[in-house]
Amino acid sequence: MPRAWRDTYIQGFTPIAGNFPGQGLLYPVLFTGLDIQDFGYPTTKENAESSARLYRSAPSSYMSASDPRIFKNREVVVQDTSTGRSYTPRDYPELFADAGMPTAREITDHYIGFVHFADARSFPDVDVYAERGSGLPTVVGARLPNLSAGQIAQSGRFLYRDGDGNQEDITNEAVLAWRAMACHRFGLTDNPGVDHFSLPGDRHLLDRLLAHLAQPRSDCPAGG
């Protein structure tokens, strides 16, 4: 929205574990599928294949996959045990080429990193009081027998790193780019041990929301 509108109507912005750069989990889902009703994984090859193909055809899958501009090669999202090849977000062109997914490559090139937030032109330019969870094992990838659709996800084959149980630390810390705002306040509060889905109802977080609401907005000049 235009700056004048934000200055009139926005007191501040509190992203609660905002998924702006995506997350690694979406890459293995293109091979295993996912049940959106309970966030579980299909248990039969037929269901896994149909679910994986559904995710492959949906632009939202690629919009939610970790953006290689932010993640680079800092985590492995897919490991093909048949070849020993590991893929990071930066390797997505090779991943889709090796998996024989040319259409997915075309969709990805258009939609990955769809949410622009890390460059100065995309800063919110309002006071920001971000929240995140941490300290919980978080799935970011998987070891797969091969790269075909219909892989059965097995618990011992998941790859983890620190996060809030749903999104990894790289995702939740990406808003630190907004520290470069010239005038507006920025803060990122860590909530150790609080999982992603519990954050919106956490009493301490809600208390902070009320406290920030009572603060005067930063008085910043246009463009500040």
- How many whole angstroms separate alpha carbon 16 and alpha carbon 201? 11
In terms of C-beta density within 10 A (0-12 exposed, 13-18 middle, 19 or more buried), how is residue 211 classed?
A: exposed
pTM of the model: 0.92
Say which range, 14-23, 34-43, 91-100, 130-139, has the weakest mean pLDDT. 34-43
**Half-sphere exposure in the Cβ direction for 14 (13 Å, CA):** 18
Kindly give, in sequence order, each residue whose CB lies less than 8 Å from that of residue 194, ignoring residues fewer than 6 positions away. Answer: 133, 164, 202, 205
Rounded (10°) CA dihedral 180, 185, 186, 191: 170
pLDDT at 95: 97
In terms of C-beta density within 10 A (0-12 exposed, 13-18 middle, 19 or more buried), how is residue 166 classed?
A: buried
pLDDT at 114: 86
- How many whole angstroms separate alpha carbon 174 and alpha carbon 132? 11
Question: Distance of alpha carbon 106 from its chain centroid, rounded?
Answer: 20
Say which range, 77-81, 107-111, 183-187, has the weakest mean pLDDT. 107-111
Residue of 138, 146, 136, 113 lying closest to 32 (CA atoms): 146
Q: Which two tokens stand for residue 155?
A: 């618990």
Name the DSSP letter for residue 92: H
Q: Read off φ and ψ for residue 162, nearest 5 degrees.
A: -65, 145
- The residue whose two tokens read 């659709």 is 149
Q: Is residue 159 a contact partner of residue 140, using CB atoms and an 8 Å limit?
A: yes
Q: Read off φ and ψ for residue 151, nearest 5 degrees.
A: -75, 135
Pairing of strands 78-80, 85-87: antiparallel
Structure confidence at residue 224 as a pLDDT band (50, 70, 90): low
For the segment 158-177, what is each residue's pLDDT rounded down to a tens digit? 999 999 999 999 999 999 99
